């Protein structure tokens, strides 16, 4: 019995010792783990350009759980990954305010992420939603609402963050189809409900695009803008004319800000057509005067003298107002050809777009048409032996059913620099995230080089080479200014507590590597890009990581 008591005592002591040992080891492991996990990523010795426009300074940036947690001189840090940024610039990730990105097609976003873009904003003439009951459209989709689309995006994984606006034109198409008549009170109410629903599903703001001279029914647009304004959101305006009718569209954009109080952002401020180049300073002054009297109006631009969209934009409105199917039918009707060629809109808009020497084919689908990709209409007509390039224009469009994309050389370098210098103008591409090997329609053919080079071109050409901008102001135009325009309060700066969308680049080598003739080439000089604290570009290579998120707007309801 005595031996048993001793044995029990011994076991008790042994268990107590083991328990204490376990507790000590557990506590020690917590301490060690805490030290080892002080930062997920530490970027050291870099020149920090914080996005505000302030001068750069040397420092370290510590990142933990997707957030910037420490900035400055960090002594003896412990990090899972250390990046030595000596000789490099550390800046916030770039925010592209105007894109046609659809990451359901190209989810790696190579063309954008490799030059430091971490957020793309979609939506212009149309938006991914709403699509309730849409008929007579070419594209069939697996969703009708923003909620469904965003769920699909997040389920597949994406390498960058995206935002989408709801398009006023898309909403009107759902309610009215291609009927251009004014909305009835009931139809207007349906439009307002769709805008409200889209904002609650996560659409950030509303975007408009008008073909010429502003909206046919201004009061409808103002009513929808008031819905958006009630949620403290934003109104983005695509000035569709950009030429002879630009004054009317600019006046309406300012009217929206004046009558609704909503912040108005103008997409790609420019003027096309050599005869109109000297008018651009007047538009710059008009926006500045509106700002001086208290209207929150801003703009963006891409750093190129050529634009890009469908060749269809050259054709008169009476051909397009009933939708793409009817447009294609009229293109094939040879009896209409004399009327088309003599139409004042066709002539004026073709001149605005650069005339036959400046209108270039970017993308087509039919083999007999694709062979002309990258060529101007003048060269195509000569190759085909056509006397009149206008006939070439209509013939090729008829063969393609109206679906040819183009690049149009029609702007002034002096105007590009004038707009770039305005403090309220941000950098935006009007391009798409894509990959060199991608198969989407926008990435095929000979697309505009802005898809691959916009931000790198600003840093290389307009900061380093021509010194149009300082480094700090260029970064501000790509980061905190876009964030301010959107009303975004957790990105766009290297600031403690902000989301860790971060770019590390070489200011001496960053550049676009492509051209109009050879647009599919990635930017260089950007060795590291983090999205939500995760390395997506590491030593210049895409890691395959997909930490991107759908960023939902201020009216979003879970």
Residue 216 belongs to some domain of the structure? yes
The pLDDT of residue 34 is: 43
Residue 46 belongs to some domain of the structure? no
Residue 417 belongs to some domain of the structure? yes
Distances in Å between the Cα of 55 and the Cα atoms of 48, 70, 74, 466 are 9, 19, 20, 19
Residues 358 and 473 in one domain: no
The pLDDT of residue 25 is: 44
Concatenated DSSP letters of 251-308: HHHHHHHHHH---EEEES----SGGGGGGHHHHHHHHHHHHHTT--EEEEE-S-SEEE
490 vs 85: CA distance, rounded Å: 24
Q: Domain boundary at 379, 409, 439, which?
A: 409
- Give the DSSP H/E element, type plus range, for residue 359: strand 359-363
Residues 475 and 491 in one domain: yes
Residues 218 and 345 in one domain: no
Residue 53 belongs to some domain of the structure? no
Residue 558 belongs to some domain of the structure? no
The pLDDT of residue 14 is: 45
The pLDDT of residue 32 is: 40
- Give yes or no for residue 89 having a pLDDT over 60: yes
pLDDT interval class at 140 (50, 70, 90): low
- List the domain range (segments joined by +) for residue 479: 91-305+411-542
Residue 290 belongs to some domain of the structure? yes
Of the candidates 543, 504, 328, 362, the residue with the CA atom closest to the CA atom of residue 442: 362
CB 235 within 8 A of CB 241: no
Report the Cα 133 to chain-centroid distance in Å.
27
Q: Domain boundary at 409, 430, 446, which?
A: 409
Half-sphere exposure (Cβ direction) of 442: Cα atoms closer than 13 Å: 21
Query: Where residue 170 sits, what CATH number does that domain have?
Result: 3.20.20.140
Torsion of CA 234, 203, 224, 251, to 10 degrees: 40
The pLDDT of residue 442 is: 63
Residues 272 and 186 in one domain: yes
Buried b (16+ CB within 10 A) or exposed e, 326-345: ebbebbeeeeebeebeebeb
Q: Which of 33-37, 270-274, 315-319 has the lowest mean pLDDT?
A: 33-37
Strand 528-531 and strand 161-164: the pairing is unpaired
Report the 3 state secondary structure along 483-552.
HHHHCCCCCCCCCCCCECCEEEECCCCCECCCCCCCCCCCCECCCEEEECCEEEEECCEECCCCECCECC
Q: Which of 1-15, 157-171, 420-434 has the lowest mean pLDDT?
A: 1-15
Residues 469 and 498 in one domain: yes
Distances in Å between the Cα of 80 and the Cα atoms of 33, 38, 62, 121, 537 are 11, 8, 11, 32, 16
Residues 11 and 111 in one domain: no
The average pLDDT across 316-336 equals 95
Residues 18 and 144 in one domain: no
Which pLDDT tens digit goes with each residue over 391-411? 999 999 999 999 999 999 999
The token pair that represents 360 in the structure block = 């270039």
The pLDDT of residue 441 is: 63
pLDDT interval class at 125 (50, 70, 90): confident
Other Cβ atoms within 10 Å of 90 Cβ, number = 26
Residues 145 and 269 in one domain: yes
Q: Domain boundary at 409, 429, 452, which?
A: 409
Residue 363 belongs to some domain of the structure? yes
Q: What's the number of domains the chain is made of? A: 3
Residue 335 belongs to some domain of the structure? yes
The pLDDT of residue 18 is: 52
- Give yes or no for residue 136 having a pLDDT over 70: no
Q: Is 245 helix (H, G, I), strand (E, B) or coil?
A: coil
The average pLDDT across 229-258 equals 94
The pLDDT of residue 211 is: 75
pLDDT interval class at 106 (50, 70, 90): confident
350 vs 357: CA distance, rounded Å: 10
- Give the DSSP H/E element, type plus range, for residue 249: helix 246-260
60 vs 58: CA distance, rounded Å: 7
Torsion of CA 308, 510, 103, 429, to 10 degrees: -30
CB 87 within 8 A of CB 129: no
Residues 517 and 422 in one domain: yes
Distances in Å between the Cα of 555 and the Cα atoms of 120, 171, 190, 488, 558 are 19, 18, 18, 13, 10
Buried b (16+ CB within 10 A) or exposed e, 150-187: bebbeeeebbbbbbbbbbbbbbbbbbbeeeeeebeeeb
Q: Which of 240-254, 398-412, 485-499, 507-521 has the lowest mean pLDDT?
A: 240-254
CB neighbour class for 351 (10 Å; exposed up to 12, middle 13-18, buried from 19): buried
Backbone angles phi, psi at 199, to 5 degrees: -65, -40
Residues 393 and 448 in one domain: no
The average pLDDT across 67-80 equals 92
Residues 144 and 289 in one domain: yes
pLDDT interval class at 220 (50, 70, 90): very high
Residues 120 and 263 in one domain: yes
The average pLDDT across 489-493 equals 97
């Amino acid at each position: 019995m005595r031996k048993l008591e001793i044995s029990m005592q011994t076991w008790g002591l042994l268990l107590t010792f083991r328990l204490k040992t376990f507790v000590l080891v557990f506590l020690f492991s917590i301490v060690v783990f805490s030290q080892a996990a002080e930062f997920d990523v530490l970027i050291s010795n870099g020149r920090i350009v914080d996005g505000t426009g302030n001068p750069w300074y040397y420092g370290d940036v510590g990142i933990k759980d997707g957030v910037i947690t420490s900035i400055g001189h960090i002594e003896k840090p412990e990090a899972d990954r250390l990046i030595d940024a000596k000789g490099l610039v550390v800046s916030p990730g770039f925010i592209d305010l105007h894109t046609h990105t659809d990451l359901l097609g190209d989810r790696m976003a190579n063309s954008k992420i490799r030059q430091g873009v971490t957020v793309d904003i979609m939506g212009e003439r149309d938006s991914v939603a709403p699509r309730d009951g849409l008929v007579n459209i070419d594209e069939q989709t697996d969703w009708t609402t923003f909620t469904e689309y965003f769920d699909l995006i997040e389920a597949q994984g994406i390498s960058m963050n995206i935002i989408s606006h709801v398009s006023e034109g898309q909403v009107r198409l759902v309610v009215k189809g291609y009927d251009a008549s004014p909305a009835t009170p009931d139809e207007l109410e349906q439009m307002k409900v769709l805008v409200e629903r889209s904002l609650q599903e996560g659409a950030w703001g509303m975007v408009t695009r008008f073909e010429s001279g502003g909206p046919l029914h201004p009061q409808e647009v103002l009513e929808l803008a008031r819905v958006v304004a009630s949620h403290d959101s934003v109104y983005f305006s695509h000035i569709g004319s950009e030429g002879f009718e630009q004054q009317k569209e600019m006046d309406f954009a300012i009217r929206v800000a004046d009558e609704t109080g909503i912040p108005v952002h103008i997409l790609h401020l420019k003027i096309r057509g050599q005869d109109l180049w000297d008018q651009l300073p007047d538009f710059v002054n008009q926006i500045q005067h509106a700002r001086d009297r208290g209207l929150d109006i801003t703009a963006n631009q891409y750093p190129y003298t050529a634009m890009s969209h469908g060749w269809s934009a050259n054709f008169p409105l009476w051909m397009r107002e009933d939708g793409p199917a009817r447009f294609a039918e009229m293109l094939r009707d040879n009896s209409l050809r004399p009327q088309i060629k003599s139409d004042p809109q066709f002539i004026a808009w073709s001149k605005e777009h650069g005339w036959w020497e400046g209108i270039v084919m970017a993308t087509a689908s039919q083999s007999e048409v694709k062979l002309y990709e990258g060529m101007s209409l003048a060269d195509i007509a000569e190759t085909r032996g056509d006397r009149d390039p206008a006939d070439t224009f209509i013939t090729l469009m008829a063969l393609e059913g109206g679906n040819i994309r183009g690049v149009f050389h029609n702007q002034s370098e002096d105007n590009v620099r004038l707009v770039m210098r305005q403090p309220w103008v941000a950098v935006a591409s009007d391009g798409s995230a894509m990959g060199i090997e991608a198969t989407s329609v926008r990435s095929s053919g000979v697309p505009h080089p802005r898809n691959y080079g916009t931000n790198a071109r600003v840093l290389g050409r307009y900061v380093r080479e021509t010194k149009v901008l300082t480094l700090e102001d260029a970064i501000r135009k790509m980061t905190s200014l876009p964030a301010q325009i959107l009303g975004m309060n957790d990105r766009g700066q290297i600031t403690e507590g902000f989301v860790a969308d971060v770019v590390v680049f070489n200011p001496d080598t960053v550049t676009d590597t492509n051209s109009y003739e050879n647009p599919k080439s990635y930017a260089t000089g950007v060795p590291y890009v983090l999205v939500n604290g995760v390395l997506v570009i590491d030593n210049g290579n895409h890691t395959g990581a997909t930490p991107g998120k759908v960023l939902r707007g201020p009216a979003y309801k879970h």
